[in-house]
Amino acid sequence: MDIRSRTRSAALARGAAAGALGFFTGYLLTWIFAGAKIADLMIGGVFGGGVPDWRAVLWVFYDSHFVGTRTPEVFGPGGDRWAGGDLIDTVELLGVEYLYLVPVVVLLIGGVTMARFAGARTARDGAMAGVTLALGYFLLVLLGLFVATQGGVAPSPLRALVIAGVVYPIAFGAIGGAVTGFYFDSARESRHTPQT
């Protein structure tokens, strides 16, 4: 294994670790900013009682990525669908729309951090460093789907994997990294430009 492939592997591993840390940070911030409202909703709200707070917070965290929480379908005796199967936006239901900013800000900061750690000096290099967040973030989105399910209520799996697991970390990690790389590229150019 040559030095270039080892360096690339280390960068991917750092990105995966940072993506996983970003997921946990977003989850924790969701709990801090809306935990009390979430607990109140779970006591007698739409989802009934018996839902642990940590699981309800996970539903809201997924919903802060515009994923939606799916309710179970209820079928009647003739096989007709009576109710359920709907996507519920728990963020809007709770009135905590500011939570939509949590994954965006966390992933932008993660992209900035990865670009700084990689020493990115161009917007392209910064974006490439920021995209590595998707590795760890996607893995935790996938694993989170298994623990988030209770009584047929769960985040929409396809939307979770595509939107929360791929689109968000790639887009916002790349933007954070690109802005950082661009900033350092501009700063370097301004130092080398002669003053008149």
38/194: higher pLDDT: 38
pLDDT tens digits along 10-56: 889 999 999 999 999 999 999 999 988 888 776 655 566 678 889 99
Report the range of poorest mean pLDDT among 46-55, 72-81, 180-189.
72-81
* pLDDT greater than 70 at residue 155: yes
Is-contact 165 138, C-beta < 8 A?
yes
Domain boundaries, the chain: 3-192
Q: How many other CB atoms are found less than 10 A from the CB of residue 68?
A: 20
Region 63-67 average pLDDT:
96
pLDDT tens digits along 93-145: 889 999 999 999 999 999 999 999 999 999 999 999 999 999 999 999 999 99
Is-contact 121 58, C-beta < 8 A?
no
Which residues lie below 8 Å from residue 102, measured CB to CB, with a gap of 6+? Answer: 26, 29, 30, 33, 61, 64
